[in-house]
Amino acid sequence: MSGAVLTLNAGSSSLKFALYAGTGDLPMAEGMVDRIGADEARLTLKSASGESLPVADLPLNDHAQSMNAVLSSLRTAFPNTEPRAIGHRVVHGGANHAQPVMIDEAKLAELETYSPFAPLHQPHNLAGIRAAMKAFPGVPQIACFDTAFHRTHPWVNDTFALPREYYDRGVRRYGFHGLSYEYISGELRNTAPLIADGRVVVAHLGNGASMCAIQNGRSVASTMGFSALDGLPMGTRSGQVDPGVLLYLMDQENMDSTAISDMLYRRSGLLGLSGGVSNDMRTLEASDSKEAHQAIEYFVFRVQRELGAMAAAMGGIDALVFCGGIGENSRLIRARVCERTEWIGLEIDHARNAENARIISSDVSRARIMVIPTDEGLVIARAARAHLAQERAA
């Protein structure tokens, strides 16, 4: 099929993928390799209708082997379809990349230099690219950056109050989840242009969580900063922490950077706050544990606090959009977040919220409250298609 594109999102132990035709927003097929390298590693593949498709019985010990298994499975399911371009999610694009780029060895080397800024994400993203380059020689590889959407931040939202030379060395607020925010911004532009031209706060709430202030389609502030640890509490990530706490842990608890990193990334957030009950909001909502309820309380409080900060960055708010696994599915969290927001013009309609409607604000709410499922994969597919269009026009 002419113009088909493959999208890849490589994590530390997973590889999500989707195959798109030359046009259209729905993938022909999508799937995932989960628990790469473990005995229970498995590959799943589903058609556009949700039907499970057969997969190759091949090793899944690393990203390269997993890519071969994905390739073999897709070729079996779609024998007449070869991807003309491959789009990749890359967490960090540094300070200079505001658009997708085609990857070559020089670009790979550049992206490697950002690994210290995103040590738990960037190396796995790049491993996925290398595996794809080996499996699909000669096929253009397009990198789409989670940081790119936030390159429009004004300087005051892009810096820390540290000695200025650190800013020049790359210690600055990059922001993340940019592919999700780009999708939501584009969806508003297509379906609600008056809102898209205004002041919108998007709450991307999931196992990874952040919020973004978008004014006239441009990111002006984000809760995530130098790393994907900042801002809201997440499934296992801490969110904002006083730097003095980290100094205390080093000086008084004798924790080194590896131990602190493990705690902040893997043992904090909802999991840590709930005393180990779960990092999954669904489990916490169903739990009778006091600690689980306290974890929810803290999560809601932080979202409300950042909502006020994002609105202040724009001088007001015209719409609040929920997306992400929690934002799209948790009626409880949406209702709780909107409990004390009348002061900025937000009033939820509980019946609409219970129905999971697209618009869940009341008729008298000065600002609109919306639920829009995000689609980062489609943003990547569109970038890959745009590259093919440029090739044809050249």
Please check whether residue 141 is in contact with residue 88, taking contact to mean a CB–CB distance below 8 angstroms.
yes
Cα dihedral across residues 306, 307, 308, 312: positive or negative: positive
Is residue 270 helix, strand or coil? Answer: helix
Is residue 261 helix, strand or coil? Answer: helix
The tokens describing 116, both together, are 């210290």
Q: Which uninterrupted H or E stretch holds 210?
A: strand 210-215
Look up residue 60 and give its amino acid. Answer: L
Quick one: three-class SS letters along 44-100?
A: EEEECCCCECCCCCCCCCCHHHHHHHHHHHHHHHCCCCCCCEEEEEECCCCCCCCCC
d(CA 56, CA 68) in angstroms, rounded, equals 9
Long-range own/partner contacts, residues 112-120 (CB < 8 A, 24 or more apart): 117/92, 117/170, 117/174, 117/226, 117/227, 118/91, 118/92, 118/227, 118/228, 119/261, 120/12, 120/261, 120/265
> For the chain, first and last CA: distance in Å?
21
d(CA 151, CA 155) in angstroms, rounded, equals 10
Look up residue 385 and give its amino acid. Answer: R
Catalytic annotation present for 146 = yes
Nearest to residue 180, comparing CAs of 153, 197, 203, 157?
203
Please check whether residue 69 is in contact with residue 75, taking contact to mean a CB–CB distance below 8 angstroms.
no
Catalytic residue among 34, 146, 158, 318: 146
Look up residue 122 and give its amino acid. Answer: Q
Please check whether residue 143 is in contact with residue 103, taking contact to mean a CB–CB distance below 8 angstroms.
yes
Catalytic residues: 146
